[in-house]
Structure formats: C-alpha cells, structure tokens
Amino acid sequence: MTKRYFGTDGIRGTVGEFPITPDFMLKLGWASGRVFARAAETSGRCSVIIGKDTRVSGYMFESALEAGLVAAGVNVKLLGPMPTPAVALMTRKQNADAGIVISASHNPFYDNGIKFFGPDGSKLSDATELAIEAEIDLDLVTAHSRDIGKVVRVDDAAGRYTEFCKATVPEGFNLRGLRIAVDCAHGATYQIAPSVLRELGADVVTMGVQPDGFNINQGVGSTDIGELSRLVRQEGAHLGIAYDGDGDRVLMVDSHGATVDGDELLYIIAMHRLARGKSDAGVVGTQMSNLGLELALREHGLEFVRAQVGDRYVKELMEAHGWVLGGESSGHIICSDVTTTGDGIVASLQVLMALKAANGDFDGLRSGIKMFPQTMINVSVNGRVDLDVPDIARAVAGVEAKLGDKGRVLLRPSGTEPKVRVMVEGEDAETVHALCSDLAASVERALS
C-alpha cells in the first residue's frame, strides 16, 4: 500500500499547510496512541515519550499531540527540547511504548514534522505507519474520563543523555589537548554537545547555541558549515563538528577548514574498528554514498552494500547482514552496537576516538579514501512525481553512456521535500558538473 502521509523519515512539511497543522497533529496523536496501545498488549496503561527541537512551532504541535494521545487513553512524558537520538534512548530507558520527535531535522524553522520510535528505540516499520494512517481516517472518539491519559514532564532527560553519550567511549578516554569548534545549528544539541565534549576534557569553542525559535539551521549546522570552517581557522582549532537541528547528523571540518563528509567519517570509524579487531564483514551505505567509499572499504576486505536513502533503511539492511555500522553521506551514522539510531554526538565521539589514536592526524585518517567528484542538483516539483518518463530515461541513458563504468547516475524523489534529487558521480569534476546540470534541466522540462 502507498503511504499518504509518511515519507522516508516520518511526516514533514510547511507549518500551517496540511498535514503540518494543529488539527492534523491532534488526530495523529490520537491515531498513533490507539495503534501503540494495541501493540503494547499489557494490563498497564500505554505510555509515549515526546521530545522536540527548538523551532517555535514545536510548542503548538507538542500540545496537539499531547491532547490526542491523552484522548486515546495514553500517558505522556514530555522531554522538552532534546536531540532525536535522545528521544530514542529515553523511549527505551523509560520503558515507553513509543517515542515521538517534533522536528524537521535540517529544514528551516518554517517547516516541521513528526518522527516516531518504537519501544526498542528504532524507527517504525512500514506496517505500523500504515496502521496509523488507517486510524487517521476514523472519527476521533475520546476515551471515558476514567480512562484518559495523564501527562508528566521529565526534568533530568538532558543529564541522562549526556551521561549516556560519555559512556559510549572507553573508561579513561579523554579529549585533553584538543581544541574543538562546535556548531549546534541553534538546535536540539545546543546544550548537550558542548557539555559532553567539555566533560571529556576538550577545549570547546561554540557557535549556533542561541536558539530563538526561528534561527534553527539558518546559515549554521551540518547543511551550511562555511561559518564553522572560518571559526576553526580563526580560533586555531584542531577540528570543527557540525550537527543538524535535531542532532542525528554530524559533519566535520579539519584544521584547515576543509569539509569531512559523512562518507569519510564512516570510513574513518570503519578503519579504526578494523585496526582494533572490532570490525564486521561489511558496512551499509545508501544509493547516495560516494563510490570512493565503496572502493576504499573493499580494498581493506570489507563488503559494502547500498540501502535506499533514509536511516531506517540503512538500519534494516544492517540487521539483515548482521553488521553494526552504516550511514549516509549527509552524516546520519548508525553504530548499532552503541545505540539504536543515527546519533550525531555518538558518531562524532567514534571519530574522535580514531583521531586521538592517530595523534590528531586527520589527513592520515582520510588518506586511504579517494572521493569521486559528485554533483547533486535539486529540481523543485509539485507533489509526488513519477520519474518513469521516456524523456527522462533517454537523458539518463545518455549521461550513463558518457560516464561508462567510471561513474554513476541517480534520480530519486526526496522523502522530505517537494524535490527530485539529481546526482551524477564520476572521475572529472567539471564533466560531472556539466552532465548533472544538463540532466537536471532535462528532468525539469520533462516534469513541467
């Protein structure tokens, strides 16, 4: 069945436009509460955790979801502003039946969305999302007054998550001697990430730590790291770390201000684990992962398989192969032997362990991977699109013929925005850029 509301990472869109409206969120809370209560199969009352990022509309949607859940007879625990992976953790630690995050991740403040976690801290299955959508079609019926849920606020969630993050590195590990610039995107990590790094001994310089409800991801964070690059050079930092608005992504810059993307970070973690005999047979990436990552891992005897774009699909393929490491170029990195979902802070600590072991030599850690030039252009569209169009097929075939076996082409509709991602990868940067520009123009014409 085709899902009407859920995309690759929950439900997302522009605030005030259906379905990102208070009335829909009320119904979504009620519908999801009914599904979670049925799945719980316990004699006690079902409970759901709610966290959010720092965008101003989070207050409105928190109240609407809370009302819907309570009307369905579900107890609610409110965490306030917390990174997405912290909500996954607290869902497990609090023995809740589900977790909800109110966030549009790396999108601007005028967007928002909802992400769900099951009781094990993993993203929901397609079947559960379809079940929630089916409930949305029903009339909302409030539980009897004796059966409606209650709401409490969890006051120590940030402290618990901070301690969890520090516990993901070996006892005695420290960051003394490292000067780190940290960009928290004015988002959910703005208090926790600097605290974790400082408590591990790092000298921390911060930016993006003054959220006002409107500045989340605005010229800051993992999707715009130019200012972080400048801060690293200005402050003489050894490196910079950039998180996105909800804290499930991380990118870095080296001491020269050069970007280290998610594929390179994944490679660094994999090589560090391999050197210590803690590696699996392989690593999971996505259709967007750079060909250079695949070749570098295979050179060291590690398999590499590609999942659909979306960390939930990466996690599913990791589980199918029995591997514990996977991620995306965007910086979603999952270390499932440490936590259940993509976690920017945890992933950055994994990289920092490798960096400390290499005596701060970022260039050395990256020397084994040669990234292929890759260009991606977003083509705006109206609503869902069908890419199975003869003109598009001919355009793709033409680009693939020019690349031969030295590159790749990928077209895919975004799961979070009304756009088609057009990606071309090859050996020569100028050729790749030109081919991608031509292909994007062909796609735009075909879909207009």
Write down the mean pLDDT value for the chain: 95
Q: Domain boundaries in the chain?
A: 11-155, 160-169+179-258, 261-347+354-366, 374-447
Q: Name the fold adopted by 160-169+179-258.
A: Alpha-D-Glucose-1,6-Bisphosphate; Chain A, domain 3 (3.40.120)
Q: Name the fold adopted by 374-447.
A: TATA-Binding Protein (3.30.310)
Bond prior to 19 in cis (omega within 30° of 0): yes
Percentage above 90 pLDDT, the chain? 91
Q: In what order do the strands lie in the sheet with 374-380?
A: 374-380, 419-425, 408-413
Does 374-447 match 160-169+179-258 at the fold level?
no
What would the mean pLDDT of 87-101 be, rounded to a whole number? Answer: 96
Angle value at C-alpha 216, between 132 and 57, nearest 5 degrees: 45
d(CA 250, CA 196): 15
In this structure, which amino acid lies at residue 394? R
Q: Which residues contact 112 (CB under 8 A, 6 or more apart)?
A: 12, 13, 15, 20, 55, 57, 58, 61, 102, 103, 104
Q: Domain 11-155: state its class.
A: alpha beta
The reported pLDDT for the residue numbered 165 is 98
Q: How confident is the model at residue 43 (pLDDT cuts 50, 70, 90)?
A: low
Closest Cα partner for 358 from 284, 249, 298, 276? Answer: 276
Q: Where is pLDDT greater, at 120 or 310?
A: 120
The reported pLDDT for the residue numbered 210 is 98
The reported pLDDT for the residue numbered 42 is 61
The reported pLDDT for the residue numbered 312 is 87
The torsion angle over the Cα atoms of residues 169, 172, 176 and 182, rounded to 10 degrees, is 20
Q: How confident is the model at residue 386 (pLDDT cuts 50, 70, 90)?
A: confident
What would the mean pLDDT of 126-150 be, rounded to a whole number? Answer: 96
Model confidence pLDDT, tens digit, residues 281-327: 999 999 999 999 999 999 999 999 999 988 889 999 999 999 999 99
Looking at 47, 57, 103, 105, which residue is catalytic? 105
CB atoms within 10 A of CB 359: 8
Q: How confident is the model at residue 94 (pLDDT cuts 50, 70, 90)?
A: very high
The reported pLDDT for the residue numbered 229 is 98
Closest Cα partner for 333 from 321, 351, 320, 319? Answer: 351
The reported pLDDT for the residue numbered 15 is 98
105 flagged as catalytic: yes
What b/e string do you get for 75-85 counting C-beta neighbours within 10 Å, with b at 16 or more?
bbbbbbbbbbb
Contact between 375 and 368 (Cβ < 8 Å): no
Q: Which residues contact 158 (CB under 8 A, 6 or more apart)?
A: 82, 86, 191, 192
Does the domain at residues 261-347+354-366 carry the CATH identifier 3.40.50.1100? no
